[in-house]
Chain A
């Protein structure tokens, strides 16, 4: 397939609306904003690559610029592409490991008690900060013992017996850090008489893209497209993911940024809440008991970009007894690996202040969000525990049993 270059920068009329809605430009002058870093500078870079500006690295790829653009310019894609094409590539141990979530996960889950203990030590944090430039203020995600896949192999051999099936792209976070979410998904779907299958998957590539390992991201992408196509029996079985950023990558980044042909899976992949919404609409609603809880909902950037926030909200509204407060929030600031780097940590924290204040004001029992790194950021900066909508749905379903 012939891939045309992203020439949407030519549609930019220089209105600067994107810069108004950029969470990074709002808090720091180090980043000149998406318009200047994206379409403006792209014209110059195309002619004279030496004109590339280091400030590109401050873009978090949250995509809010693309949501606001009246002229449909793929601003964030242009910036990510330029990061990879033009920025001097320096090998950094930190970036290498931060972007290999699957490698890190495989090691950490086999020695989870040690890793979890170790990464909490002050001295370790101090040295990570000094040597690797991983900010000591950042709390690390905790690792599970073993992987979700292993749990799944042992405990879920009955999935073929349900009327329908879905292929579940669990992503690295569920596999290494949050088995509960994967198990909860099984509970919910099984209650709805839907079985869960796994495909052979590699990291979707989001952290690789963010750290400019585009070749590696492309290799992972090719692998995932192939194996998801196979597991979904060429489009017969729907594919779902519980991570919004994974979904975004599989559906859009593969095509727009990595120039991969994902046409055979793209219309078959859904973020889980959208899938559940469609099931509910069809009348396949599990029996739910009231959960009696006040929750505040934060919509993550990549879900906003996919226009999918409404489905999460609609499903949450159907959970009886759920007192739902919508936060009308913007970016939480962590932006995946962005918040794990000393040079951008402070910016990341500043971006999140508005959200943290809104949460405090709403004063819920728990916060709900669809994204795993938003969860890390909110749990680190507020006293509230953060749940995925599927976790909450499970509470209602379990009560119903």
Chain B
């Protein structure tokens, strides 16, 4: 099977790259095995959230120039500020075409509430997570309500409320918690607390229950200025459902990202895949790349688990297989390895240096910065030190950045994906 561009890995980075390439008319395929990290994400896209000392970055783009100077090996430094800016604009525009509108606070970061009731800086959020009306809300003295849905076991409103009360930003508010209880949806006695986010999202997706849910919300929240709920307000029909719920209750309703499966992340995943398909891209889901042939510094063809013989071939390849969790990097007893092409990886030799002594620590863990080494154009090298000319590496696979400590995971994923696509398009045009 021959393509202009073949992408290994269908997460945020791979899909961004695929959509950009397909949009420019390239024949493009993505091979993906297992659902991507978007299903585990907050559904907001971070650009740069924290300074190295842990304090919040308020104007990420303004700070980015300085940041790049300080971190010359960082993926953002390779992309350059303009590419990062273009990439954010591009993804936002593409998602808009799928009716998924991402709120952007001008040049500033905004905060979203976590399932623990803490605040996280981020750059783009779905409108049900943050928008202009919420920005204005913080000036008034009012009541807010944090509600759960009976039977949902991945959210504890009291924890959220307790942590929000500690936050000076919320000191003007009276915060209450409650649980929406609709007997209609109680499961059999056998499995009393079996609801996961997706089950409830499907209940919300059907408009027939909305009036009753709205009555419950009003009862529990009283005259609250706004109501926060776990993110389960619909999985396909979410725009309309969110709007209708606000109309029916007369309050502002916000979603808090939950534990996986993340509905907010899945909305982005669905929208990007649908965009890719609409542009003629081919998404292959049930197979896995296990290796490839490299000849004269070029990848000649790829092998998959199911079809060893008929290699997939392409002019350009993109590796966006993610980090340890997604299998893009393997942690073995005495080495960190990239399993498909055995690429050069940045890591510490001594296993003792891979992690901090505390599991949860402000210092973060060194292994988060491990990953594939690339040149300025995101091209990797083999263990023997040979550059591979037609392969680009993007996303969580890359080294020299720390998505957790910097609050930069989403931004690096889409910026590097976009940067790789741009280079492929240029080279194809030059051929």
> Hey, what's the 0/1 contact readout for A45-71 against B, CB within 8 Å counting as 1?
000000000000000000000011111
> Lowest 6 CB-CB distances: which A-B pairs, in order?
A307-B287, A70-B34, A307-B286, A20-B198, A15-B260, A68-B35
Q: Smallest CB–CB gap between B209 and chain A, Å? A: 15
Contacts of B309 in A (CB 8 A): 267, 278
> Is A32 interfacial (CB-CB < 8 Å)?
yes
> Considering the chains assembled together, what is the distance between the CA atoms of A308 and B33 in angstroms?
13
Q: A267-B309, A306-B287 are in contact. List 6 more A-B contacts (CB 8 A).
A: A20-B198, A21-B35, A29-B194, A32-B194, A304-B285, A307-B31
Name the CB-closest residue of A to B308: A267
A177 at the interface (CB under 8 A from B): no
Q: What's the Cα separation between A186 and B196 when bound, in Å? A: 50
| Distance, CA A314 to CA B1, complexed state (A) | 9
Question: Which among A17, A32, A274, A306 is the interface contact of B35 at CB below 8 angstroms?
Answer: A17
CB contacts between A and B, total, < 8 Å: 82
Q: How far is the CB of B246 from chain A (nearest CB, A)?
A: 26
Chain B's closest residue to A66 (CB) is: B286
Please indicate the chain A residues that have their CB under 8 angstroms from the CB of B277 in the complex. Answer: 328
A350 within 8 A of B: no
Query: Residues of A contacting B306 with CB < 8 Å?
Result: 306-308
In this assembly, does A19 line the interface, its C-beta being within 8 Å of a C-beta of chain B? yes
Q: At the interface, yes or no: B138 with Cβ under 8 Å from chain A?
A: no
A316 CB to nearest B CB, Å: 13
Measured between C-beta atoms, what is the minimum distance from B267 to chain A in Å?
12
Q: Which of chain B's residues have a CB closer than 8 A to the CB of A267?
A: 308-309
SS of A interface (majority): helix
In angstroms, Cα B260 to Cα A20, docked, is 10
Interface size on B, residues (CB 8 A): 37
Q: Which residue of A lies closest to B263 (CB)?
A: A20
B188 contacts which chain A residues (CB < 8 A)? Answer: 29
Number of interface residues of A (CB under 8 A): 30
User: Would you call A305 and B286 a contact (CB within 8 A)?
Assistant: yes
Please, which residues of chain B bring their CB within 8 A of the CB of A70? 34-37, 39, 325-327
Q: Is the interface of B mostly helix, strand, loop or mixed?
A: loop
24 contacts between A and B (CB under 8 A): A15-B261, A16-B198, A16-B261, A17-B261, A20-B39, A20-B198, A20-B266, A26-B202, A32-B194, A67-B34, A67-B285, A67-B286, A69-B34, A70-B35, A70-B327, A72-B327, A277-B310, A278-B309, A278-B310, A307-B307, A308-B306, A310-B29, A310-B282, A313-B282
In the complex, A19→B154 CA distance in Å? 15
Residue of B nearest to A252 (CB): B306
Specify which chain A residues have a CB less than 8 angstroms from the CB of B288 in the assembled complex: 307
A264 CB to closest chain B CB, in angstroms? Answer: 15
Which of A16, A68, A278 interacts with B196 by CB under 8 Å? A16
Kindly supply a per-residue 1/0 record for chain B positions 185-215, scoring 1 wherever the CB is within 8 Å of any chain A CB and 0 otherwise. 0011001001010100010000000000000
Contact B285 A307 (CB under 8 A): yes
Select one of A32, A67, A281, A307 contacting B191, CB under 8 A.
Answer: A32
Minimal Cβ-Cβ distance residue in A for B266: A20
Q: What is the minimal beta-carbon distance from B323 to any residue of chain A, in angstroms?
A: 12
Complex contacts, B33 vs chain A, CB 8 Å: 72
User: A100 CB to closest chain B CB, in angstroms?
Assistant: 30
A125 to B275, CA, bound (A): 47
Whether B40 sits at the interface, judged by CB under 8 Å, is yes
Between A32, A70, A277, A308, the greatest number of chain B beta carbons within 10 A of the residue's beta carbon is seen for A70
